Structure 1
């Protein structure tokens, strides 16, 4: 809690602009959206048709570009069925990326037994098995009779130059981060470490918090932070979310051999992606929010999005970027339906929560460029998964140095 209080003193100028935002100001939202367009082009692209790894950038043989798929999904405590097909979510039918970073929230219900009791690894193992099956299905199908030459491990990955391997996964209560890479990339990835921060009940339990995984690819360090921040739409809840972010950034540490000068904290890494159920809501009366959602007036709603508001004021998000939001709010849906939960008469008044863009993906770092930002229509829980694709530049040791 002392760390949280100290972090309150670290508010900085808003991305160099030091602007003030008035709720409902269309001008502010237009500036924010224009800024996103300047930074990231005019929205998402349909996909990446080729693997970018080991492709020289601007003729520089020592700079390589890899495609990174990152996604967040609050699965609402629902255990996946054995036949759940994840190919649409992972976009494996159209594209094959080099690295997949998948962040889950609530893979188990957040009850006292799960928060205080032993970790239930069976559920995370099942998710990894389904992920491996989806990522490697095309590889096995194309291999045909030759699939015996690539051994399949317990997580569904295929050992072979064309397959994908789970290089690291970590669970803390309901938060689960799973990182996969092409098998051919595995020898180039070093210093895989994970760090968990609980910021939930009493400021330390794991019902809320983060699971971070970092590694070094060639000579570039990456850090992926999966978060589940404080929930709630009451006045003051946004401050709790800000404190959670500050707490995660301040307390996360990665061990490293003394002989190597490795990044110790999240922001020390070259490229960072922060994703998860960040739980930021829309600062309007719920009735007005629902009316605007019915009319699909996303720009008006985004004028009052709490996270964009925090961006503009520089509260703990200086240096972070987010792509242009062109998709509908990702929460709160009726499970197994395309309708929001408040549309159902059976929903209790305390459950008729107004929709919001709770699920977000942010990033920072030189050489990281987002080329896609969207949601997809899996109906498993009351959240929709959100995914992004990045092109990541990596500094590689020159041939002369690497052979020393």
Structure 2
């Protein structure tokens, strides 16, 4: 108890100062399996490592923020010459209601690992710890977040039942697969395997290689927790070497407008030459008149106060909306603007059309000047995700289950996934039927277009003819001047 009091004494002045100066709250540290690649020109293998925590005292969360990188951000006309790759991105949000995950919790159904293999997983949690004063004012309970990450890792990297004799099954049987310690102990083996892997992007909406279900291998590229909000991003291990400049930003919008019981954890990263930003939000709760305005204010604060490092010599996007592909998900807490009795009746009839016509978030998306005007959301064809009795399929406050004096909360679609960006195409939008908490998880599948540089002879030719290379004394440069169509073999022999 004394330790928590001391932590509160340390945190309060900083939190108040952050509010007064409108600075993002929280640390810029995050957890990842792989160190980020430093330079855009470096496409080599990233050496797998044990789970690392990057902080302000050691390695910067933005690799370009602590190293001088000469190459500027590609201009739009340069990007036009890039090739386009397509990947499958799985995004999901889940308010787990402060319930600690049991040891035997299987996340395979939620992550849809039995039916399809995705290239990228973006997972947002809310209330991974109860939002008590001790948890809000004290240090983040990172052990709970790490436990959720362990369960995600176990579900994603579990081999398909169709391949019981796979190499991963054998490693797990020996106790060498899955965890961070295993990654550290078998780093050389993993590095050797990664060197033999190839990237198989999605084409025509088909996953990155049907055979990958037999032996999957995913790695966490960034994971960040602020009080009860946890955002974690996972990619196929062979894609991790193309992920760069991961960085995080935390904005608290809770008590005093700055504490982390409400707010957002945002992550940005590059995949090839395309920038991504994901914001996991938990907005103001409440179904009374005026509570919608509080949620709108939280959303405005998150979009304005979230800031990422620009990086030395690089004009990197700093704000959420500056990125190429943007996904915003979480417990946004928007309700249905109808009387409770009518809302329950329409839910029983599954009259989603009438309910959505009175949905507060849809109004903010579609109305000019709304808090989320310009964002996109898929068609909703599933039941409201809030609020259920724990371990039940019954909505909270129903006459058959309600108790005297119990608050009656009308059902609502509190858990949502929005997106922006021309290269995102939503293929699915549904919910998962887990009874762990009073919310149901919501998930979406996206087909994502990503720009990647074309590595060909022309790029080598421009290097050897540039000022950085003395072409007058180079036989290779003379060859390129005389014969611009020289083959790569002839070019290599000359060098």
- Coarse TM-score class (shorter-chain normalised): 0.7 to 0.9
CA contact 1:253–1:265 (8 Å) conserved in 2 = yes
Residue by residue, what CA displacement relative to the aligned partner does 1:221-259 show, whole Å, maximum 9, x if unpaired? 000000000000111111111111110000000114212
Closer/same/farther in 2, CA of residues 213 and 262 from structure 1, 3 Å limit: same
Pick from 396, 399, 422 the counterpart of residue 341 of structure 1.
Answer: 396
Q: Which residue of 2 aligns with 1:391?
A: 447
1:230 lines up with 2:230 in the alignment = no
Give me the TM-score of the superposition, normalised by structure 2: 0.67
CA displacement at 1:289 relative to structure 2: 0.8
CA displacement at 1:353 relative to structure 2: 0.4
CA contact 1:129–1:155 (8 Å) conserved in 2 = no
CA contact 2:97–2:128 (8 Å) conserved in 1 = yes
SS of match in other structure, 1:391: strand
Closer/same/farther in 2, CA of residues 85 and 156 from structure 1, 3 Å limit: farther
CA displacement at 1:208 relative to structure 2: 0.2
**Which residues in structure 2 correspond to 1:2-401 (within 5 Å)?**
62-138=83-159, 141=164, 142-143=166-167, 144-145=169-170, 151-154=177-180, 159=190, 161=194, 162-314=216-368, 315-343=370-398, 344-400=400-456
SS of match in other structure, 2:266: strand
Structure possessing the higher radius of gyration over alpha carbons:
2
SS of match in other structure, 1:372: strand
Task: State the aligned residue count.
Answer: 349
Question: Which gives a bigger RCO, structure 1 or 2 (Cα 8 Å, sep 6+)?
Answer: 1
CA displacement at 1:61 relative to structure 2: 7.6
Structure 1: gaps of 5 or more residues: 5-59
Closer/same/farther in 2, CA of residues 155 and 382 from structure 1, 3 Å limit: farther
Structure 2: gaps of 5 or more residues: 1-18, 23-80, 195-215, 464-495
Give me the TM-score of the superposition, normalised by structure 1: 0.82
259-268 or 224-233, larger mean C-alpha shift? 259-268
Provide the rounded CA distance (Å) in 2 between the counterparts of 1:3 and 1:307. 30
CA contact 2:275–2:324 (8 Å) conserved in 1 = yes
Provide the rounded CA distance (Å) in 2 between the counterparts of 1:303 and 1:350. 28
Residue by residue, what CA displacement relative to the aligned partner does 1:52-91 show, whole Å, maximum 9, x if unpaired? xxxxxxxx98100011000000000000000000000000
RMSD: 2.3
Residue by residue, what CA displacement relative to the aligned partner does 1:349-374 show, whole Å, maximum 9, x if unpaired? 44320000000000000111110100
325-334 or 152-161, larger mean C-alpha shift? 152-161
SS of match in other structure, 2:281: strand
CA displacement at 1:348 relative to structure 2: 5.0
Provide the rounded CA distance (Å) in 2 between the counterparts of 1:326 and 1:87. 22
Provide the rounded CA distance (Å) in 2 between the counterparts of 1:378 and 1:156. 30
Q: Which residue of 2 aligns with 1:41?
A: none
Closer/same/farther in 2, CA of residues 356 and 398 from structure 1, 3 Å limit: same
Provide the rounded CA distance (Å) in 2 between the counterparts of 1:261 and 1:150. 42
Provide the rounded CA distance (Å) in 1 between the counterparts of 2:109 and 2:410. 27
Provide the rounded CA distance (Å) in 2 between the counterparts of 1:402 and 1:351. 66
Closer/same/farther in 2, CA of residues 390 and 402 from structure 1, 3 Å limit: farther
CA contact 1:128–1:155 (8 Å) conserved in 2 = no
